[in-house]
Each structure stands twice: as C-alpha cells, then as structure tokens.
Structure 1
Amino acid sequence: MARVEVNRSGEMEVFADVVEQGGFSAAARARRMTPSAVSKLIARLESRLGARLVNRSTRRFQLTPEGSAFYDSVKRILADIDEAERSAFSGERPVGRIRLNTSASYGNHVLAPLVGAFLARYPDVQLDIAQTDVVIDLLAERTDVAVRAGPLKSSSLVARKLGETPMLIVAAPAYLARFGTPKTAPDLARHNRLGFSYTRLVDGWPLSDGMAPPDAPQIVPAIGRVQASDGEALRHLAIGGAGLARLAAFTIRDDIAAGRLQTVMEDCNPGDREAFHAIYVGQGGPVPTRVRALLDFLAEHGRVS
C-alpha cells in the first residue's frame, strides 16, 4: 500500500489559523478555503495524533488542554521554520530570533542598558529574554545563550567569560541602626541573612575569620527568615531593611554611593570574585550568525567588574 504523504507544516499553519481566527469559518476565509475543507483537515490531524484538539459547537469554539499544548508547540515550530529560511537566505548577515536566558542581576544592571545598541547594530535580529537565576537546560528550554554567575560545571556547553566581580556583604543603614553592625562571623548569628531559595554550588557566605588561611575561608550558611529566587530580589530586600545580603559588587555600587546600602564585615571578606559567563551549545557544529553576533557584543560591551 502506498504511503500517504502528509504536509505537516501545512496542517500546522491551518490549525494555528483556526485558533487565532477563533473558528473554522474565519480560518477558511483567511486561507481562502471552504469551512468543510478546514474541518476535515483538523479532523484528519486529530485522528493522526490520537487526541481531540478542539471542542466543536455551533456557538462556541474552545481548545482542549491537548489542543492548547499542541498550539504552543506549533507556534514554536513554525517560528523556527521561518527563522531557518531567513537564516539560509541571509548568509552571514545576523537574522532571526535569539532566545537569551540571564540572571536577573545581569539582566537589569548590564544587559538592559545595552539592548538598544544591540538592536540598532543588528536590525534584523529579535531578542526573547527570560530572567532567572536557576540554571536551566539550554536544549530543553530551547535557549540559544544563557548568562550565568559562578563556577562552571563540566558539560558539553561552550562558555565566553564576561568578567569577574567582587562579592560584598551589605545592609540598609536603617537595618544596622536597629540590629547593630556585625564585625565577625559569630556576630551573624544575631542577624537575618537573606539567602537564595535554591541550592547553589557554594551554598553560603565564605568568610575569613583571621584564623583560617585566606585560601580556605569558612562557609557561613545564608539562613534567615527570608529567601528569594534571584539576586535582584535580594538587593531590593536588603534596601528595604529586611536583613544582610551578600551581593555582586556591580549590582550595588550605585546603592552604596547613594547611601541606600552600606558594606559590612569588610575585614572578613576573603576577596573571592564571582565569574560571569555566556554559555551556549556550540561543540560539534557551527554557531549561528545571530548567536555569534550576540556573544561578540556581550564580550565587548557586557562585561562585569
């Protein structure tokens, strides 16, 4: 029996139109098809998938949960097809959408002021920016580039270093006036230490107490009554007087200069620096032109210190 060829991308386009136009008749008009032809196409699609995508009635159009999930996937696939065609046509000119995942601190303090210049330099590139401090799986999340802080784990990913920044313990003057200024590690027992709500590679504050060698500081747990999912949230909590926070220097220099935050325990600072990297999937094949353009731009303009 001859195999029936299925135009999957064509089916996806019709299904997307049905969803976006709000029904079969409207989609049929938009695509210059008959409503019965659109209905039969969706029925064939449902039969092949083994799932109902649309609940049909004379008065109401409604996606099923399976249809909603399928629509999200369809939009990503169609966007990727469009991007692949544009990229093939453009040659070495950066064209298409870049999916960028970044920590909130880097996104707010470094990336945001640069986006306008990047878009002006590459007018045919679009950016999808997601902010989270949690390490993600680039392939699973369909991400082109991720900016991350801290030591890198061994993996198949490639990294471009974006500099290093000192780490500082800070608090709002009002908090210190109320609870006192800590001088040594034992003093921290009386203070609210703002920490992250997820496990980090170094899960605590490295501190030198004058007895341990400088290269082997003690790790004091960042435990307290408040935890947050990203460094930018911790910064705002510290400014609001919720407690002590250990933050990257580039995120709080303006706050220190303006008097919103004050450094403490500087004698206990072991002098460690947190590295930032732009990581991407690049081993075993060429890096897309649009991705390489972003990596080069960040390496030139997006460094931390």
Structure 2
Amino acid sequence: MDNLSGLAAFVRAAETLSFVAAGRDLGLSASAVGKSIARLEKHLGVRLFHRTTRQISLTDEGMTFFVRCRSALQEIEDAEAELSKAKGTPRGRLKISLPTIGYRLLLPVIPQFRHAYPEIDLEFDFSDRLVDVINEGFDAVIRSGPLSDSTLTAKPLCPYRFIVCASPAYFVQYGALGNARDLANHVCLRFKYPSSGKLQEWLLNGVSVLQGQSASVRSQQLVFNNTEAVLSAALQGLGIAYVPDFVAREPLAEGKLRPVLESASTRQGMFQILWATNRHMVPRLRVFIDFLGQHLHRE
C-alpha cells in the first residue's frame, strides 16, 4: 500500500508538475509528496524529476515510468469502480476534454449531474487543441466534426447550428441586413482557428459567402481567434457575428442580439463524446455519457 501511495503521489505530481498541487489533490502536504517521491526514487535507483527552487519537470526515465504508472493506476481505479458497481454507486474521477467554448454547452447541466452522482469527481480541460485521449489520461473528449481516430468510440450528444446575429444598436447605426450580399456593406466579426490560422467560413444556403473560391462577398472585417471575443464584440455593436446557436442563446433570448438571415443559415454541426475503444466502460463514465445524452439541449 505504501508503494501504491507513492505511485499515486508521483503520477499526480507528474500530471500537475507541482508537489503543492499534487498534495492539494491528494490531501497531503507538498513536503509529504516530495518525501514519498524521494523514497520511490531511492527504491527504483533513478531520478524521476528534475527539481529547481521554482519548478519540477520529468526526467526521461520519469516520463517512461509515468506513462506506465498512470495506466496501471487507471486499471486499479477501474477495478475499484467495478466493485463499486455492485453497490450501485458510481464513484471516482473523470477527466474530460472539451473545446474552449464548451463550457457554455456543458456547465448548465453539471449541477444536476453532481446532485445525481455526488461521488464522481470531475476534471474539465477546456482547449481547442487536438488532445491524445489515451496518452494524456483523458476518460473522454467532447468534440464536433468527423471521427478520424479509429481507436475511439463516439456517441452523438446534441446538434447545433450556426446563426448570423448582431446587436440592435449595430443595426441602428449600419442599417438592416436583407440578404447575404448586403454583408459587403457591413463589418463582419471573423473567427480564426488558432490551430491552422484559417478564417472560419460563413456558409449560407450551403455557399461560402466570405471565404474560398466560391466567396461572393468582400466586407470589412474584425478578426479574433476566440469565440468569446467574437460574441463580446457583437454585444458591443462592433459588427455581425457568425456563431453556434448555443453560444448566443442567452443574449438572443434577452434581446441583446438579433438574428438575421435565419432561412439562409444552413451549416449544421453535432457534438460527440469520444472515449478509448479498448478500455472497459467503467460505471462513472457510462452514467456521465448517458446523462449528457439525455440532458444536453436539443433543438
């Protein structure tokens, strides 16, 4: 058991790159974590971390050991979850990756999930980068777009669509928008993908109206690499936005934004939850997937 606690301290320290953060998660002092890892290093006869007064980082041996240990501890945690299944109470930690804007989709339903499953701890990682589900220790990821990784299983969660909208104050200043070609006389708030640097297409009636060979409109533009910034700019009357409906749902309901070209907004999307195919479906992940499938907003 002492070896297992040392491995747990090592894995958490490797994940957080901090003895303080690892201790906080494990209910230990930073000193206790450091001593536990030192004993482990002495037992193994190798140094697992480079240490300075300000930070720690894994050695090459530490990285190799970390990958194996995390997998082994996950198997132990899964075995414990199987035992808890017999008691009817899913428990343990879930580490979930979502797009940066995904909190607007997910957080409204999390209080209800926490009430139903209080013994499941949730760790959310909001990032638009392409994560490695298995090697980075994620239980699942929520993404939109096609599934390209054959090692993952996917389940559709909820659809969404893109809408064109702006603040009432913007239309007072710049005039109404009757059709897509009128965009040439307006300021368009463009989203640039951080990973590729490409501007997001505005698809109206299935045609790209602002970008690409079929683009038919040249407008003034403000460019952002963050969807929240696009939404904030729209709310401040700086231009017209093209955003997922769930992002603008509240300001639309409150009248702070007004939709336009509704009949032409044809681009649809689907959020999916993905998890490793070769991993046993533990109860805590099963109930999380089922809950999201039942409670996420559907048009």
TM-score of the superposition, structure 2-length normalised?
Answer: 0.71
Paired AA for residue 80 in structure 2: R
- Taking a change above 3 Å as real, the CA distance of residues 114 and 18 of structure 1, as seen in their structure-2 partners, is closer
- Taking a change above 3 Å as real, the CA distance of residues 303 and 281 of structure 1, as seen in their structure-2 partners, is farther
Indicate if the aligned counterparts of 1:173 and 1:262 stay in contact, CA closer than 8 A. yes
Distance 2:228 2:98 in 1: 12
Shift of 1:96: 0.9
Candidates 277, 288, 295, aligned match of 2:289:
295
Of the structure 1 ranges 165-174 and 155-164, higher mean CA displacement relative to structure 2 is found in 155-164
1:153 lines up with 2:151 in the alignment? no
1:53 lines up with 2:50 in the alignment? yes
Candidates 178, 187, 193, aligned match of 2:182:
187
- For 1:162, the equivalent position in structure 2 comes to 157
Candidates 84, 93, 96, aligned match of 1:97:
93
- For 2:214, the equivalent position in structure 1 comes to none
Distance 2:41 2:234 in 1: 54
Indicate if the aligned counterparts of 2:147 and 2:154 stay in contact, CA closer than 8 A. no
- For 2:240, the equivalent position in structure 1 comes to 244
Identity %: 24
Distance 1:141 1:101 in 2: 10
Shift of 1:163: 2.7
- For 1:226, the equivalent position in structure 2 comes to 223
Indicate if the aligned counterparts of 2:186 and 2:220 stay in contact, CA closer than 8 A. no
Task: Show CA shifts across 1:175-196 (max 9, x none).
Answer: 2222333333333234332232
Aligned residues: 268
Shift of 1:272: 3.4
Where 2:233 maps in the other structure, the secondary structure is: helix
Question: RMSD in angstroms over aligned alpha carbons?
Answer: 3.9
- Taking a change above 3 Å as real, the CA distance of residues 303 and 22 of structure 1, as seen in their structure-2 partners, is closer
- Taking a change above 3 Å as real, the CA distance of residues 94 and 252 of structure 1, as seen in their structure-2 partners, is same
- Taking a change above 3 Å as real, the CA distance of residues 124 and 270 of structure 1, as seen in their structure-2 partners, is closer
- For 1:217, the equivalent position in structure 2 comes to 207
Greater Cα radius of gyration, structure 1 or 2 = 1
TM-score of the superposition, structure 1-length normalised?
Answer: 0.70
Gap runs ≥5 in structure 2: 24-28, 212-218
Distance 1:167 1:18 in 2: 44
Shift of 1:125: 0.7
- For 1:271, the equivalent position in structure 2 comes to 266
- For 1:113, the equivalent position in structure 2 comes to 108
Paired AA for residue 280 in structure 1: W
Where 2:115 maps in the other structure, the secondary structure is: helix
1:177 lines up with 2:178 in the alignment? no
Task: Show CA shifts across 1:224-244 (max 9, x none).
Answer: 322133x34422221122321
